[in-house]
Amino acid sequence: EVQLVESGGGLVQPGGSLRLSCAASGFTFRNYWMSWVRQAPGKGLEGVANIKQDGSEKYYVDSVEGRYTISRDNAKNSFYLQMNSLRAEDTAVYYCARLRTNYGDWYFDLWGRGTLVTVSS
C-alpha cells in the first residue's frame, strides 16, 4: 500500500526540541521530493519545508528558517524534521507529504495522517 506514516509528535515546552519522522512505503521513495506541511488548530495549511530526492536541496518557509532542519535517509525510506527553539505558534498538526514535480509541477499528491505537536509550558 502506498502510504506515509508520521511519528514523533507530542508536548514540548517553549524553547525545546522535537524530531518528527515520516516512513514511506509502497513507492520508490528516492525518486520524490518530500515535504512537511503544518496546520495550526482550526487554521489553514502552511508548507514548512521541502527536500530534494538526494537531499542536496532544501527549502524552508521564513518562519522556521534557522530553527528547523529537514533531512532524509533513502536507505530507510524515511525523512525527518528536526525542530529546535520551538514556540507556541509552532503548535500544529504536522503532515508529511509527497511532492509531484513532473513538468514543473509542485503539488502534494500523497499525505500522511499527521502528528500533533503542542508547544506549551
**Site residues (vs another protein, CB under 8 A):** 35, 44-47, 50, 59, 61-62, 95, 100, 104-109, 111-114
Q: How far is the CB of 17 from another protein (least distance, A)?
A: 23
Q: How far is the CB of 111 from another protein (least distance, A)?
A: 4
Output 35 or 78, the one with its CB closest to another protein.
35
DSSP secondary structure letters along 43-54: --EEEEEEE-TT
Output 9 or 16, the one with its CB closest to another protein.
9
Q: How far is the CB of 35 from another protein (least distance, A)?
A: 8
Region of 42 please: left (phi>0), alpha (psi -120 to 50) or beta. left
Cα angle 102, 110, 103 (rounded to 5 degrees) comes to 5
Question: Collapsing DSSP states into helix, strand and coil, what is residue 102?
Answer: helix
